[in-house]
Amino acid sequence: MSSRPQPEALANYHCEVGENPLWDDERQLVYWTDIPKGRLFRYDVRTGRHEQFYSGEPVGGFTIQTDGSLLLFRVNNMARLTADGRVEVLVNNIDAEMDRFNDVAADPEGRVFAGTIVSDDKRAGLFRVGLDGSFTLLFKGTGCSNGMGFSPDLKTFYWTCTTTGRIYGFDYHRATGEISNRRVVVQVPPDAGYADGMSVDSEGNIWSARWDGFALYKYSPAGKEIDRIQFPVAKVSSVVFGGANLDEMYVTTAGGKDGSDTADGTLYRLRSPVRGLPKFRSRVLLTR
């Protein structure tokens, strides 16, 4: 196994559910959300400054649009957050069965795959959002839809089902956004925590955060565990590649409580042994 980098604490807002770290290559910022508290944060890698810049309805996931605004997937709506802080609801009442959106990912054409979560059964699933703002239900049957990503050749789409502890691979059809030929790539043992957010590196390896597992796991494209990086907190929730050369990993954690002096809910940084892949920008309901 390679020499493991050590997590560096960057910002501790004691996030209850710190999630969805997202790298903004134009502004050199890392964004992330604290879902139940309805907070969004950003960290400037050039200055080390960080701040909360949104407070409102819980944001389960978000993407960066090609115009620089943020596309928010909240409790049961999709909204736009502009640079001056205005929130405009674009689509309302999307799915009455879900508790809220959970994790989302833009595809190379600017569409968005948006997962949902339901606390008490398997009525959650995955939607595809078209450039025209339309929502297409791809499937249901999970309690918690989670991390997603694409292989470097854009032929495989990965989707995490936290409920079953599986990361699935699908054939991805870029022209249409269709996914097919679902198969299990990774199966997490029942006693090893919960598969959560993920990212794919430039070599095609899958980096999967492990909620209640104290670690970030690295898997080959075939699903073989290659390495794991331990964290000082249990609820490691998601990871994104960032930095000027995409050679850093930014990792969110959860379990924080207001007034606590613990590290739970901290944003961490790791020096990555391999470069990552850039995240795509959405262009939903944009004219260009």
Q: What is the pLDDT of residues 188-229, one digit of tens each?
A: 999 999 999 999 999 999 999 999 999 999 999 999 999 999
Q: What is the pLDDT of residues 81-132, one digit of tens each?
A: 999 999 999 999 999 999 999 999 999 999 999 999 999 889 999 999 999 9
DSSP state of 17: B
Tokens of 134: 């339309």
Please state, in angstroms and rounded to a whole number, the distance separating the CA atoms of residues 49 and 55.
19
pLDDT score recorded for residue 3: 66
Tell me the per-residue pLDDT of 75-84, one tens digit each, with 9 for 90 and over: 999 999 999 9
**CA-based torsion, 52, 57, 62, 66: positive or negative:** negative
* 201 within some domain: yes
Query: Distance (Å, rounded) from C-alpha 141 to C-alpha 158?
Result: 16
User: Which amino acid, residue 52?
Assistant: Q
Residue owning tokens 């850093």: 248
CB neighbours (10 Å) of residue 257? 12
**pLDDT value at residue 1:** 43
- 286 in a structural domain: no
Q: State which residues form the domain around 148.
A: 8-271
- What's the number of domains the chain is made of? 1
| Calpha distance 142→123 (Å, rounded) | 6
Structural domain includes residue 251? yes
* Structure tokens that stand for 19 in this block: 């999630």
Residues serving a catalytic function are 196
On whether residue 283 sits in a domain, the answer given is no
Which CATH number is 81's domain given?
2.120.10.30
Domain annotation covers residue 252: yes
Predicted local confidence at residue 286, as pLDDT: 95
pLDDT digits (tens, 9 = 90+) for 27-47: 999 999 999 999 999 999 999
Q: What is the mean pLDDT of residues 8-26?
A: 98
- pLDDT tens readout for residues 220-278: 999 999 999 999 999 999 999 999 999 999 999 999 998 899 999 999 999 998 999 99
Taking the C-alpha atoms of residue 67 and residue 41, their distance in angstroms, rounded to an integer, is: 19
| Helix, strand or coil, per DSSP, at residue 185 | strand
Any idea what the Cα angle at residue 124 is, between residues 40 and 61, rounded to 5°?
Answer: 15
Identify whether 1 is part of a domain: no
In a domain, residue 281? The reply is no
Question: CB-based contacts of 158: which residues, under 8 Å, 6+ apart?
Answer: 147, 148, 149, 150, 151, 167, 168, 169, 170, 185, 198, 200, 206
282 domain-assigned: no
Rounded CA separation 148/187 (Å): 15
DSSP for 75-112, please give it: SSEEEEE-TTS-EEEEEE---TT-SEEEEEEE-TTS-E
DSSP string for 38-86:
TEEEEEETTT--EEEEEESS--SEEEEBTTS-EEEE-SSEEEEE-TTS-
Compute the distance between CA of residue 162 and CA of residue 144 in angstroms, rounded to an integer.
Answer: 6
Is the pTM higher than 0.85? The answer reads yes
